[in-house]
Homo-oligomer: A and B are copies of this chain.
Amino acid sequence: MNKKAIVLVLGGGGGGGFKTAADKLSAPLLGRPLVSYVLAAAAGLRPAAVFIAVEGKDDLPPDVLAEGPSPRPVPLVLRGGARRQGQGRPLRWPATGPLLRRHLSADVLVVPADRPLITSKTLKSLLAAHRRNGCSLTLLSLGPDPDRDSIAAVRAGDVVPLLAPLARAGAGAGLRTIAALLSARGRTVGLTELPEAEEALKVAGRGDLARAALVLRRRKNEDLLRRGVVLLDPASTWVDWAAQVGPGTVIHPSVVIEGPSRLGKDCRVHPHVHIMNCRAGDRVRILSSTVLEASRLEDEAQVGPFARLRPGTVIRAGSKVGNFVEMKNTVFGPRSKAQHLSYLGDSLVEEDVNVGAGTITCNYDGVRKSRTRIGAGAFIGSGTELVAPVTVGRRAYVAAGSTITRDVGPDSLAISRARQVEKPGWVLERMKKIRRVRAVT
């Protein structure tokens, strides 16, 4: 009985709305490339090596290789025949000779890349049955055409003698031919059943991605529920495969969490929130209709509703970012608050700062971007423009409605404001004038 296993992922073919094989392999599915799912299932076997068979080098986007879990998949270019754009094809077995000879004592698991719902458990069962029954070839039937629509375990050493007849049989010779040749030689060929019919789903075209995503979302959400995450409405919750959420965190309806985001324990995520590639600590509150991208939120931070954090933003512990507030490339200090209608860009805000409503960092003057610094305990009055580069000192107080163009010292009041003038009766005069004009015209 073989003890070593290698995996051969079949990566060929585009079609069905995919322009190229590369396009298909890297098609996003719950936030990860299509091929990554089969690679992850393969990794569960702890194989000695994983190969991806393609017809040309550019069939394989480089980031796909980086995506795979250990062992890293090795591309295997199996050229041959006229390349037909957008057409899946059976494996060209004769071209696998060098690989098989290098792994004569191995079982080879052959897995098409476009079956993202296949689980490690199923691959393990297949391999176990294959070995238990002493088969040369064991097929896991997935569809009508065993040459294309099968997952198979096959003894490398038993296929090598067949390579010459397979080459003579032509490009169409696949698992079906191998099974016949093995049977003719008195070898055992086995067949196992798929435990869950849904695992057979084949991403033949772009339209199948949504179907596959639905199953993967269900699996992901069930996993989250098992880990103690509270999903109020799993059916409307989208959590990418790579995202992680801590126990006790409550996710309200219509929330989308993308990329390898990580949320801690006992957080609250209110409805209509969109999170991309973020990290949040514990007890973080993300209120409704908030959009977060490539940002970090420390423990007990609160953002939203209607907050927008752009890449490079760090919200320190216990601080609050309120409605209609945008931050970009900004560190926002512990216990600081920016609750309303503000834009902080390229800024460093220390702790215990109060940023009033309508505060705007003017970080771009048409030519270059500059930074704003606000010291601990400072108070920025509402309706203030901070024209960068500028520093507001610790505990300084900026009066409402000011445009700050020069640095403000610590403990200072800064104010730039025209005197309030009142013209009594002005409104009555104006209405008279308007009435006169209207009477004339």
Contacts and interface: CB of A to CB of B under 8 A. Distances in A.
A160 to B, nearest CB: 43
Interface residues of A, number: 92
Interface in A310-340: 322-324, 326, 340
A382 interface: yes
A169 B360 CA distance: 75
Contacts of A17: 228, 247
A231 B231 CA distance: 23
A369 to B, nearest CB: 12
A397 interface: yes
Contacts of A401: 385, 387, 402-403, 416
Interface stretch (A4-12, A46-54, A407-415): A407-415
A232 B305 CA distance: 25
A33 to B, nearest CB: 15
Best-surrounded residue of A402, A403, A424 (most CB of chain B within 10 A): A403
Contacts of A207: 222, 225-226
Contacts of A287: 291
A354 B341 contact: no
A357 interface: yes
A360 B385 contact: no
B354 A366 contact: yes
Query: How many identical subunits does the complex contain?
Result: 3
Contacts of A416: 401, 417-421
Contacts of A236: 236, 253-254
Nearest to A405: B420
Contacts of A324: 306, 308, 324, 326, 341
A381 interface: yes
A197 interface: no
A427 B403 contact: no
Nearest to A434: B367
Contacts of A326: 322-324, 340-341
Contacts of A247: 17
A230 B29 CA distance: 11
Contact of A381 (B256, B362, B381, B428): B362
Given A289-B291, A403-B400, A271 B271 contact: no
B412 A425 contact: yes
Interface stretch (A57-65, A91-99, A133-141, A208-216): A208-216
Interface in A266-305: 270-272, 274, 287-289, 291, 305
Contacts of A364: 354, 356
A151 interface: no
A401 B396 CA distance: 20
A264 interface: no
Nearest first, the 4 A-B pairs at minimum CB distance are A401-B403, A413-B426, A207-B225, A416-B420
